[in-house]
Amino acid sequence: QMSIYESGDEGARLLPVSLSEWEERAEKKLDAGSFGYVHGGAGAGDTMRANIDAFQTYRIRPRICMDISNRDLSVKLFGHKFTAPFLFAPIGVNSIFHPDAELAPAKAAAKLGIPYILSNVSTMDLEKVAEVMGDGIRWFQLYPPRNHELTKSFLSRAEAAGYSAIVVTIDSTLLGWRETDLRNAYLPFLSGHGMGNYFSDPVFCSMLDESPEKNRKAAVKVALDEGNNICFTWKDLDFIRQQTKLPILLKGVTHPDDAIVAIEHGVDGIIVSNHGGRQLDGAIGTLEALPFICEAVKEKVPILMDSGIRRGADILKAMALGASAVLIGRPYVYALAVAGQMGVEEVMKHLFTETELQMAISGRTSIQELDRSLVMKVN
Ligand code: FNR
């Protein structure tokens, strides 16, 4: 914070401070297709807006005259300490935003001391991402394929490369109705973006008549069919559970009953998410869903959340309502597009600092102190 004030005019000109500035710059830099892909939501955008608006239905009630000189943003989850209660949300096809693709946010995460969740549909393969992260905490996100052998292969590769948790995303077995992308006739996978993990997988390659190098179009089609597994049920989750000892988190839960069933099927964590409003339009905003899920789960497993988190105040409210940590999505993608790894670090450092200040000014000195008494429902 002080370094920004001290940098004077020059600093102010060079680096955006607010997220809306990063977004504006990203829009100028990217072509319409790739900007639309990150910026857009499903249908009328109602759920994407509900995610943001839900944060206005709670207000923070600060306490005063507290000693706030020693502050700690760190949290512990699944045996790892994170410097702050943030994770990088899994975002696929990063090569449409920056040539360094997933390597940039992965390196930023390792440097910042928070986990990077690598998307199953990343441009870079998972081994390459692991290599640049060193000891950095990494989790692997799986769109559970139809073929169980392919599932096994992704899981064992992730384990071998040091990923320490598996995020199974279940809200996207069909692609939502995304009008911006339809208008732009833009689906990045069709031009080969986001296929790193598939094309480097021996089981996947054995499913093809010709190698991806020889016939990329056919390989992409098989990969998309695998990833859009509309037959997925709880039984398939049991299969995944049997294949790995790593913690499994289910991403895309918004109904408390699903959270309960998921725990019965052995998941170790829930991620309350609606995919940033990109899938089911009209669905509940995630902050609206969070308290009900926490009430149903009764602290049996940690509950994380994403969708619509843009500011320190949002993070405080999510933590106060029961989240153990939050995933950051679009904000880091805009910064990636504008300034690669440096941009990603910058935007995340701003979030760290804003969260720390907000926490302190509200009279709390650690994340553990952010409980229900911090917020009040106002409408
Ligand atoms: C996503 N998201 C996503 N989720 C996932 O599990 N696997 C993936 O590959 C992707 N890919 C992806 C691409 C893009 C461009 C976006 C914007 C989102 C969803 C993501 O993990 C997260 O749930 C949302 O981004 C959170 O919402 P906000 O913070 O972006 O509003």
Is residue 163 situated within a structural domain? Answer: yes
Is residue 7 situated within a structural domain? Answer: no
For residue 52, the CA-to-ligand 1 centroid distance in Å is 15
Q: Is 272 helix (H, G, I), strand (E, B) or coil?
A: strand
For residue 259, the CA-to-ligand 1 centroid distance in Å is 20
| CATH number, position 245 | 3.20.20.70
In this structure, the number of other CB atoms found within 10 A of the CB of residue 30 comes to 21
Is residue 337 situated within a structural domain? Answer: yes
Strands 166-169 and 248-253: parallel
40 close to ligand 1 (CB < 6 Angstrom)? no
Please give the distance of CA 352 from its chain centroid, rounded to a whole number: 16
Is residue 188 situated within a structural domain? Answer: no
Measured by CA distance, the residue closest to atom 23 of ligand 1 is: 275
Element (H, E) at 76: strand 75-77
Is residue 357 situated within a structural domain? Answer: yes
Is residue 119 situated within a structural domain? Answer: yes
Question: Is residue 265 exposed (0-12), middle (13-18) or buried (19+ Cβ within 10 Å)?
Answer: middle
The answer to whether 119 is a known ligand-binding residue is yes
Is residue 281 situated within a structural domain? Answer: yes
User: How many angstroms separate the CA atoms of 140 and 87, rounded?
Assistant: 12
In this structure, the number of other CB atoms found within 10 A of the CB of residue 179 comes to 16
Helices (H), 161-231: 179-183, 196-199, 202-206, 216-227
Q: Would you state the structure tokens that stand for residue 68, as one six-digit string? A: 């706030």
Is residue 102 situated within a structural domain? Answer: yes
Provide the residue-wise pLDDT of the chain in tens; the chain has 379 residues.
Answer: 887 778 776 655 577 899 999 999 999 999 999 999 999 999 999 999 999 999 999 999 999 999 999 999 999 999 999 999 999 999 999 999 999 999 999 999 999 999 999 999 999 999 999 999 999 999 999 999 999 999 999 999 999 999 999 999 999 999 999 999 999 999 999 988 999 999 999 999 999 999 999 999 999 999 999 999 999 999 999 999 999 999 999 999 999 999 999 999 999 999 999 999 999 999 999 999 999 999 999 999 999 999 999 999 999 999 999 999 999 999 999 999 999 999 999 999 999 999 999 999 999 999 999 999 999 999 8
Please give the tally of structural domains in the chain.
1
Q: Which domain holds residue 347?
A: 29-182+227-377
141 close to ligand 1 (CB < 6 Angstrom)? yes
307 close to ligand 1 (CB < 6 Angstrom)? yes
Residues acting as catalytic residues: 275
User: How many angstroms separate the CA atoms of 213 and 253, rounded?
Assistant: 37
Return the ligand 1 atom nearest residue 276 CA. Answer: 27
275 close to ligand 1 (CB < 6 Angstrom)? yes
